[in-house]
Amino acid sequence: MTNSDGIINSGWNLDHSYARLPKIFFSTLEPNPVRSPAIVKLNSSLALSLGLNGKTLQTEEGVEILAGNKVPEEALLLAQAYAGHQFGHFNRLGDGRAMLLGEQLTPQGERMDIQYKGSGRTPYSRGGDGRAGLGPMLREYIISEAMHSLGIPTTRSLAVVTTGETIIREENQPGAILTRVASSHLRVGTFQYAAQWASEEELRALADYAIDRHYPDAKAQENPYLFLLQEVIKRQAELIAKWQLIGFIHGVMNTDNMTISGETIDYGPCAFMDVYDPATVFSSIDREGRYAYGNQPYIGGWNLARFAESLVPLLHDTQEKAVEMAQDALSDYSRLYKSSWLKGMRAKLGLINEEEQDEALIQDLLGMMKKYGADYTNTFRWLSFDKQKKSVLFGTEEFTKWFEQWQARLGRQENSQASSKQLMQNSNPAVIPRNHLVEEALDAAVEEGDYSVMESLLDVLSKPYAHELDEGKYCSEPPDSNRPYQTYCGT
């Protein structure tokens, strides 16, 4: 099928609700062609669920579209404006290396943003080149898709194309464009931008838009904007609890990298923790540990306070009352986070009912894991089975005592041991995208053009709870040569 411009119809069914917002929130763009685009990865199952034809996406013309060289009918390219606290400092930002193609209306009736990342300069590029490297775009592909399979709300990755151009970084890299799919790209930073530079009417338009798109129930509420705030707080509390439970470290939790939808976004210097330690930081630029594993829940609250501040003009006519309402809503965050985390931790330990001392039992285990340098994922994985592997932690007297307490605790619930084990196996992944495996896959792809290592890794990561597969090397802890592991921004 071709449309009137002769462009193959891959199933694009685009709308542009964001472009109907006041002009201050975006800049329209022209295509910014790249030299010779080639597709290196397509997510066929995601394409299918979006109503896109994977086969035509891979034709020359389909790839031209994924590279931003051509636009499908009804496309309208734009870059979104936003601001953000980056490591605590407020800056005016925006899509400096991304463009929105539109919102794909899927066969399931969803509205999903289709965004190209690495697609060239925009009015918000500041000093940047608007481009992205192949390694970092493949990294985002691998980790975001792994997060999705782990059951964590996230933006997803539809495709990676190389551009045929070289981008200049510390080490020159092949240029690439990632097609990112998100339930929206509204960020806390979008609201900060509105509060700082837009009129109250424009801020209200943005809030109404977020409500329409993500929290339609708010419309029936007495105070829809307070409801919006409360719901975003709830979703972010749940999201960050999920990160903690799985050992995910985002790495750059700036307010521009926190969504209103509650999806994880912007996979830059993120990485999974191996050895349990709340102080774990992988990002080379996070020298103070602002975004360390153990600090993520606190930073989540800090970012949400910035969101609440942005909404103040909408919450109530009198500022004093509005601030009070915002503070009330924010005071719920810790409780919501804690209860999500506790629920998830109970599941990781097979606890189906609740006892008051559960938290102490959990903290004792975590404390020992830190003390003995135990691998976070594998400790829970081994506890999920009857036969535990020999490890430094499991060999200690301290652990034996804890284990007896845990067994006694399990014995005090009516549910069978088998149902506890099942719950544990469903809550403790067999595989995560371990840093050394991700690096190995990226090296093969970027240095040698060999994508087979990445394909095998992606295959394993798509079934993280399939313990019966016994994934051998994919479950193995990193070699000492991989420690300390560092990740880099500009990714």
Residues that bind Mg ion (CB under 5 A): 257, 266
Q: Which of 95, 113, 256, 375 is catalytic?
A: 256
Q: Is 257 in the site for ligand AMP (CB under 6 A)?
A: yes
Distance, in Å, from the CA atom of 464 to the CA atom of 427, rounded to the nearest integer, reads 10
**Which of 176, 154, 3, 159 has the alpha carbon at shortest distance from 75?**
3
Q: 266 or 375, CB closer to Mg ion? A: 266
Residue 97 interacts with which of ligand AMP, Mg ion, none, CB < 5 to 8 Å by class: ligand AMP
**Which of 34, 3, 181, 167 has the alpha carbon at shortest distance from 106?**
181
Distance, in Å, from the CA atom of 302 to the CA atom of 279, rounded to the nearest integer, reads 18
Residue 469 interacts with which of ligand AMP, Mg ion, none, CB < 5 to 8 Å by class: none
DSSP assignment string, 99-152 = EEEEEEE-TTS-EEEEEEESB---TT-TTS-SBEEHHHHHHHHHHHHHHHHTT-
**Which of 210, 326, 202, 315 has the alpha carbon at shortest distance from 262?**
210
Buried/exposed code over 266-283 (b: 16+ C-beta within 10 A; e: otherwise): bbbbbbbbbbbbeebbbb
**Four-point Cα dihedral 198, 202, 204, 205, nearest 10:** -140
256 a catalytic residue? yes
- Shortest Å distance, C-beta 95 to ligand AMP: 5
- Strand intervals (E) in 219-312: 248-249, 271-272
Q: Is 37 in the site for ligand AMP (CB under 6 A)?
A: no
Q: How many CB atoms lie within 10 A of CB 254?
A: 24
Tokens of 48: 């299918």
Pick from 76, 87, 123, 129: which binds ligand AMP (CB under 6 A)?
Answer: 129
**Which of 25, 416, 394 has the alpha carbon at shortest distance from 190?**
25
Q: 290 or 346, CB closer to ligand AMP? A: 290
Q: 97 or 381, CB closer to ligand AMP? A: 97
Q: 340 or 491, CB closer to Mg ion? A: 491
- Shortest Å distance, C-beta 429 to ligand AMP: 27
Q: Is 214 in the site for ligand AMP (CB under 6 A)?
A: no
Angle ∠(51,54,58) on CA atoms, nearest 5: 140
Pick from 62, 130, 135, 297: which binds ligand AMP (CB under 6 A)?
Answer: 130
Residue 268 interacts with which of Mg ion, ligand AMP, none, CB < 5 to 8 Å by class: ligand AMP
Q: Is 95 in the site for ligand AMP (CB under 6 A)?
A: yes
Q: Is 85 in the site for ligand AMP (CB under 6 A)?
A: no
- Shortest Å distance, C-beta 416 to Mg ion: 46
Distance, in Å, from the CA atom of 241 to the CA atom of 342, rounded to the nearest integer, reads 9
Pick from 8, 34, 46, 93: which binds ligand AMP (CB under 6 A)?
Answer: 93
| Phi, psi values for residue 367, rounded to 5° | -60, -45
- Shortest Å distance, C-beta 47 to ligand AMP: 25
- Shortest Å distance, C-beta 178 to ligand AMP: 11
Pick from 11, 54, 62, 94: which binds ligand AMP (CB under 6 A)?
Answer: 94
Q: Taking a C-beta distance cutoff of 8 angstroms, is the pair 120, 438 a contact?
A: no
Stretch that binds ligand AMP, among 29-37, 95-103, 155-163, 320-328 (CB under 6 A): 95-103
Q: Is 131 in the site for ligand AMP (CB under 6 A)?
A: yes
Q: How many residues bind ligand AMP (CB under 6 A)?
A: 17
HSE of 331, CA atoms in CB hemisphere, 13 A: 6
Q: 179 or 257, CB closer to ligand AMP? A: 257
Q: Is 263 in the site for ligand AMP (CB under 6 A)?
A: no
Q: Which residues are catalytic?
A: 256
Q: Given the rule CB under 6 A, which residues bind ligand AMP?
A: 93-97, 124-125, 128-131, 252, 256-257, 266, 268, 489
